[in-house]
Amino acid sequence: MFKKRYKLWSEDPYFDFETREELKSIKDPAEIEDRFYMDLEFGTGGLRGILAAGTNRMNIYVIRKATQGLADAIAECGKEAMTKGVVIAYDSRRFSQRFALEAALILAKNEIKVYLFDELRPTPELSFAVRYLKAQAGIVITASHNPKEYNGYKVYWEDGGQVPPDQASKISKHILSHEAWDDIEPLTVEEARFQGLLITIGEEIDQVYLSQIKSLSLYPELSQKEGSSLKIIYSPLHGSGNLLVRKVLKELGYTSLLVVPEQEKPDPNFSTVPYPNPEIPSTFDLAKKYGEQHNADLLIATDPDSDRLGVVIRNTENQYVQLTGNQVGVLLAYYLITQKKALGILPPKATLIKTIASTDLADALAQDQGVQVENVLTGFKFIAEKEKELDEKDQGDFQFGFEESYGYLAGHFVRDKDAVIASMLVAEAALYYKQIENLNLLQVLNKIYEKYGYYLEDQTSITLKGIEGKKEMAEIMTGLRGADIHSIAGIPLERIDDYELGIGKRLNNASSEDKYLLTLPKSQVLRYSFVGGGFVMVRPSGTEPKIKFYFSIRGNNPDLLEKTLHDVRNDLLGLVSKILGKPLD
Half-sphere exposure of 568 (CA within 13 A, CB side): 29
Q: How confident is the model at residue 585 (pLDDT cuts 50, 70, 90)?
A: confident
Of the three residues 141, 168, 201, the one that is the final residue of a domain is 201
The one-character DSSP state at 485 is -
Please indicate whether residue 510 or residue 253 has the higher confidence score (pLDDT). Answer: 253
Cβ contacts of 317 within 8 Å, gap of 6 or more: none
pLDDT at 86: 98
Q: In this model, does residue 44 exceed pLDDT 80?
A: no
Q: Which domain holds residue 471?
A: 455-580
| Ordered alpha helix ranges (H), 140-202 | 165-177, 189-194
Given a cut of 70, whether residue 491 has pLDDT beyond it is yes
* Average pLDDT of every residue of the chain: 95
Residue 68, classified by CB atoms within 10 Å of its CB into exposed (0-12), middle (13-18) or buried (19+), is buried
Q: What is the CA radius of gyration of the chain?
A: 24
In this predicted model, what pLDDT tens digit does every residue of 55-72 receive, in sequence order? 999 999 999 999 999 999
Confidence of residue 509 (pLDDT cuts 50, 70, 90): low
Q: What does 66-127 look like in DSSP terms, one character per residue?
A: HHHHHHHHHHHT-HHHHHH-EEEEE-SSTTHHHHHHHHHHHHHHTT--EEEESS---HHHHH
Is the confidence at residue 2, as pLDDT, over 70? Answer: yes
Q: What is the pLDDT of residues 147-171, one digit of tens each?
A: 999 999 999 999 999 998 889 999 9
Q: Which of 20, 16, 58 is nearest to 40 (CA)?
A: 58
Q: Which of 184, 257, 243 is nearest to 430 (CA)?
A: 257
pLDDT the model gives residue 479: 96
Distance CA 431, CA 547 (A): 39
Residue 144 annotated as catalytic: yes
- What pLDDT does 466 receive? 81
Q: Is 584 exposed, middle or buried (0-12, 13-18, 19+ CB in 10 A)?
A: exposed
Among residues 10, 127, 144, 240, which one is catalytic? 144
Residues in the chain: 585
- In the predicted model, is pLDDT for residue 335 greater than 70? yes
Whether 132 and 75 share a structural domain? yes
30's CB contacts (< 8 A; 6+ apart) are none
CATH of the domain at 402: 3.40.120.10
| CB-neighbour burial class of residue 194 (10 A; exposed 0-12, middle 13-18, buried 19+) | exposed
Residue 58 carries which DSSP code? B
Instruction: Kindly report the three-state secondary structure assignment for every residue of 290-333.
Output: HHHHHCCCEEEEECCCCCCEEEEEECCCCCEEECCHHHHHHHHH
Confidence at 254, pLDDT banded by 50, 70, 90: very high
Bridge-based pairing state of the strands 487-488 and 491-498 = antiparallel
User: With contact defined as beta carbons under 8 Å apart, do 374 and 384 qualify?
Assistant: no
Say if residues 413 and 403 touch (Cβ distance below 8 Å).
no
Please check the confidence at residue 475 and state whether its pLDDT lies above 90: yes
Question: Quick one: average pLDDT of 314-334?
Answer: 97
- The confidence score (pLDDT) of residue 527 equals 98
Does 221 lie in the same domain as 136?
no
Q: Looking at the structure, tell me whether residues 56 and 146 fall in a common domain.
A: yes
Say if residue 140 is in the same domain as residue 183: yes
Q: Do residues 388 and 435 make contact, with C-beta atoms less than 8 angstroms apart?
A: no
The model's confidence at residue 512, banded by pLDDT at 50, 70 and 90, is low
Q: Which amino acid is at 191?
A: E
Region 273-299 average pLDDT: 96
Amino acid letter for position 181: W
Q: Which amino acid is at 247?
A: K
In a domain, 33, yes or no: no
- Residues 287-302 have a mean pLDDT of 98
Closest by CA position to 124, among listed 144, 109, 104: 144
**Sequence-ordered list of residues with C-beta below 8 angstroms from that of 464, at least 6 positions apart, any chain:** 470, 472, 473, 545, 546, 547
Residues 347 and 246 in one domain: yes
Is 16 inside a domain boundary? Answer: no
Residue 122 CA to residue 91 CA, distance in Å, equals 7
- 438/468 same-domain check: no
pLDDT at 560 over 90: yes
**What pLDDT does residue 543 have?**
67
Strand-pair partners of 517: 503
pLDDT for the residue 513: 65
- Evaluate whether residue 246 is within a structural domain: yes
Integer Cα distance of 40 and 51 in angstroms: 11
Which of 181, 201, 221 terminates a domain? The answer is 201
Query: In the predicted model, what is the mean pLDDT of residues 41-58?
Result: 92
- The answer to whether the CB of 505 falls within 8 A of the CB of 513 is yes
Give the pLDDT mean for 32-47.
90
Cβ(397)–Cβ(142) below 8 Å: no
CATH number of the domain that 467 lies in? 3.30.310.50
Distance CA 456, CA 348 (A): 31
Q: Is 175 inside a domain boundary? A: yes
Last residue within a domain, chosen from 201, 236, 269: 201
**320 within domain boundaries:** yes
Distance between CA atoms of 553 and 420, rounded to whole angstroms?
Answer: 30
Neighbouring CB atoms inside 10 A of 208's CB total 13
Q: Specify whether 333 is located in the same domain as 359.
A: yes
Q: Kindly report the backbone phi and psi dihedral angles of residue 302, in degrees, each rounded to the nearest multiple of 5, phi listed first.
A: -110, 150
Q: Are residues 155 and 106 in the same domain?
A: yes
DSSP 188: P
- State the virtual CA torsion across 163, 166, 168, 173 in degrees, nearest 10: -160
pLDDT at residue 508 greater than cutoff 80 = no
- Whether residue 436 is predicted with pLDDT greater than 70 in this model: the reply is yes
Is residue 311 in some structural domain? yes
Q: Please choose, from the candidates 49, 126, 22, 142, the residue with its C-alpha nearest in 3D space to the C-alpha of residue 92.
A: 142
Q: Decide if 459 contacts 345 (C-beta within 8 A).
A: no
Contact 286, 273 (CB under 8 A): no
Residue 352 confidence (pLDDT) above 90: yes
Q: Are residues 373 and 411 in the same domain?
A: yes
Q: Are 169 and 218 within one domain?
A: no
366 assigned to some structural domain? yes
Residue range 51-57: mean pLDDT, rounded: 97
Q: Label residue 449 exposed, middle or buried (CB < 10 Å: 0-12, 13-18, 19+).
A: middle
> Is the C-alpha dihedral spanning 314, 319, 324, 327 positive or negative?
negative
Residue 347 lies in a domain: yes
Total domains in the chain come to 3
Identify which of 270, 268, 233, 266 has the alpha carbon closest to the alpha carbon of residue 249. Answer: 233
| 271 DSSP 8-state letter | T
Tell whether 169 and 242 lie within a shared domain: no
User: Cβ(141)–Cβ(155) under 8 Å?
Assistant: no
Sign, CA dihedral 299-304-305-308, equals: negative
Residues 178 and 290 in one domain: no
Residue 123 contacts residue 416 (beta carbons within 8 Å): yes
Average pLDDT of span 344-368: 97
Judged against a pLDDT cut of 80, whether residue 451 lies above it is answered with yes
- Is residue 93 exposed (0-12), middle (13-18) or buried (19+ Cβ within 10 Å)? buried
Query: Whole-angstrom Cα distance, residue 214 to residue 461?
Result: 37
pLDDT digit string (tens) for 8-37?
A: 999 999 999 999 999 999 999 999 999 999
